[in-house]
Each structure stands twice: as C-alpha cells, then as structure tokens.
Structure 1
Amino acid sequence: MGFSLFKSKSPGFLTPAEKEQVVEAIRNAESRTSGEIRIYMESHCKYVDPVERASEIFFQLKMEQTVERNAVLLYIAVKDHQLAIYGDEGIYTKTGVQYWRELVSHILQEFNQEHFVEGICQYVYEIGEGLHSYFPYDRASDHNELPDDIVFGK
C-alpha cells in the first residue's frame, strides 16, 4: 500500500505549518482527557513489524510513566509506508483490539486519499475522544505529563 504524498515530503516530513496543525490537534485532544498522545515519524522502520518499533519508541520516550498508563503513540515510517498505533495498558485494556483496528483503518483511508496531515489530525481527534471516554480531564489533578511536539527520527 503506497502513500504517494510521503514521497513528496522533504526530509523534515512536514512543513512548519503542518507541524503546527498536528501539534494543535494534539493539544486540543488532550484538553479533554488526562491521556497523552505522541507522534513519532522516521524515514525507515528498523524492524519488519512496525508495532515492534512503536513499542521500542514508546518506552524510549518513557510514555509508560504516565500516572494512569493512558498514553498512545502513533508511529509512522514515511519511506517504508508503515504505521502503528501503540497504546499503554490503561487505555488498551479499556478499548480492546477492535477499537485500534478501526483507528488504523480510518487513518489509512485518509492516507490513501493523500490526506496525510488530515489523517494524522483525524487520528489524534479520534484517539482523544476515546481517551476522553475512559480518562476525562480533571482540572484539579491533571497536568500535561508528556510534551505535545512531534518526535522525528532519521
């Protein structure tokens, strides 16, 4: 499955305006939940299975250290046309496998229509809604546990 839009991106993958659009989507989604959302992008996946790579990145970014274990990582290997979603045990056990399959399906639909940034933002919105359902924001106790920026690998 190819994503032709990936091929047209610079080594930075996203323009500054696109980066800001994605970061704003993360901030908006996290404003309704105690959950955390991160995005990691790199050119190539170091493993055959992108879920394994997502798991490695998840722990490198110390995403398992959120209080409620409710962090989610979207991993994208741009040139390999691979992606994976990795959710910590707190959110994964509440949503189940079908929820994650549907998220992947939705984002792939956007990517296949060459709506790359829109697909990422839609994913962020959908996962934010899922997190809100199980981990709503509590003004008295919640704080941003992880940075909202996009992490770029090589």
Structure 2
Amino acid sequence: MVTLRLQPDDHRKVSEAIAKAEAASDGEILTIVSADSDSYHDVALHWAVAAMIGVLALAAWQAARLASAWEALFGWGEQASAGEVLFAAMVLAVVGFLLTLLLLKSRAVRLALTPGATKGRRVRRRAIALFRAAAERRTVGRTAVLIYLSLGEHRAEIVADEAVAKVTTPECWGDAMAELIGQIKAGQPGDGLAMAVEEVGEVLARHFPKTSEDVNEIPDKLIEL
C-alpha cells in the first residue's frame, strides 16, 4: 500500500478551493486529514489469538508427530506422555501468539491485515467524532460539511450538519467522493481534497445559495492531525 503524504502546497490548494466554494453558498466546508483513524491494536490481538488457536489445532491434528519430536528432543527414546505432548502444544501456542504480536507491532502490517470493513467503520466513526467536535452546530444555519481523509486507510468520509442532511442524501456526495478516491489512488490527496471541496460546494450552492447575511464561521483551511 502506497504511503500518502500531504505536500506543503496542498494546504494552499485546499484553502483556495474552500474560499471559492463558500463564495457561492451560505454553507461552510471543513477539511480534516489524519494519518490514520485508529491504532488497530485490537486487530493485532485478534490475529495473535487466531495464531495461538491455529497452532493448537495443528498440534492436535499432528499429535503423533509432536510426540515424536518431543521424544527426540527430551525423551531419550522414551515415549512422550499425554501431559508432555499437551505441554509442548501449549508452549508452541504461546510462541505463536507472541511472534504474531511482535510482527503486528508494525503499523503498516496491522493496517495491511485489518479487514476493509473494519477500516471503513473506524474511519466513519472517527469522522463523526471530529465533526461533532469541530463543526456540528458551529454554524447559525447548521450548514457545515466535513470532508475527512484518513491517509493510512486510504479512505474518506463526508459528514453533513443537520440542515444539509435534511435536503441531501449520501448519493449527493458521490461525485465528491469519486474525485477524492480517484486522486488518492493516484497518490495526490491534496488535489483530491480540492476537487472534493469543489463538488461539495456545488451541492451547497444549490441548496443554500449565498445571502448577504452569511459570514465565514469556520476558517478556510486544511486541518492536518
């Protein structure tokens, strides 16, 4: 998986795109980029437990070979007892558990071995939490929209405030997400965010056209966590 990074010029591109989009709408657009949305340490633990169970299952399946190996190593020709075989299986299971945990100390390996559905849920959960902290009910008309990009998972989410959610559906953000995901795959997250801001701005302009009472309630900048 390609490691995505924002370049210094990406902040300027996104800020300019936000200012341009908001010039035609009473809506407010917030962009947040995070290195990842979760540590996924629980996923590492799940894999380690699975490895331990797998070793125990293999030991049960190949009990005779395990007994022979035990005899060769420690039995001096004597037949291994059931207790000795069980002990050997438990030792191997613990070793498998610890080696798997050691392997998964690498963030890149954890991300690679995390199921896509799990990544999707964690990214969505993080996006909603950030939206609630930074944008929800922060505008008079409840017209804020968050575009959230999680670089490690190569995933993005769009979360809208109350007034926007009432007049839109998730499909309304399809073009914005398509632009963003396409540029993520091309290794250009900054360009993707700027394009997504433009598409979100068009949706906001249709439903919340610019009025004389509008003020800029959320700074026009890219927030990088």
Common fold: TM-score over 0.5: yes
Give, in whole Å, the separation in 2 of the partners of 1:56 and 1:20: 25
Deviant stretches of 4+, over 4 Å: none
Query: Which sits farther off after the overlay, 93-102 or 122-131?
Result: 93-102
Q: Please say if residues 173 and 200 of structure 2, whose CA atoms lie closer than 8 Å, have aligned partners that are also in contact.
A: no
1:59 aligns with 2:132: yes
Q: Offset at 1:100?
A: 2.5
Distance 2:125 2:158 in 1: 10
What per-residue deviation string (whole Å, max 9, x for no partner) do you get for residues 85-111 of structure 1? 111121122121211244322321222
Higher strand share: 1
Q: Pairwise mapping of residues 45-56 of structure 1 onto structure 2 (< 5 A)?
A: 45-46=37-38, 48=119, 49=121, 50-56=123-129
Instruction: Please provide the CA RMSD for this pair.
Output: 1.8
The counterpart of 1:44, out of the listed 36, 39, 45, is: 36
Q: TM-score, normalised by structure 2?
A: 0.59
Counterpart of 2:22, as a letter, is E
* 1:14 has 2:7 as partner: yes
Quote how far apart the aligned CAs of 1:117 are. 1.9
Distance in 2 (CA, whole Å) between partners of 1:21 and 1:147 is 14
Aligned residues: 144
> Could you list the runs of 5+ residues in structure 1 that have no partner in the other structure?
none
Residue in 1 that maps onto 2:196:
123
1:109 to 182, 198, 223: 182
Q: Is the 8 A contact 1:41 1:150 kept in 2?
A: yes
Is 1:143 aligned to residue 215 of structure 2? yes
Shift of 1:5: 5.9
1:14 offset after TM fit, Å?
Answer: 2.7
Go from structure 1 to structure 2 and tell me whether the alpha carbon gap of 1:32 and 1:55 turns closer, same or farther (over 3 Å shift).
same
Larger radius of gyration: 2
Superposed CA offset, 1:14-62 (max 9, x none):
31x2211110111010111110001111111038421211111011114
Distance 2:219 2:126 in 1: 20
Percentage of matched positions with identical amino acids: 27
User: How many Å separate the matches in 1 of 2:138 and 2:168?
Assistant: 20
Structure (1/2) with the larger helix percentage: 2
1:133 and 2:206 aligned: yes
Indicate if the aligned counterparts of 1:39 and 1:151 stay in contact, CA closer than 8 A. yes
* Worse overlay, 109-118 or 36-45: 109-118
Indicate how the Cα distance of structure 1 residues 95 and 62 shifts in structure 2: closer, same or farther if over 3 A, else same: closer
Distance 2:207 2:126 in 1: 26
TM-score, length-normalised on structure 1?
Answer: 0.84
Runs of 5+ in structure 2 lacking a partner? 41-118
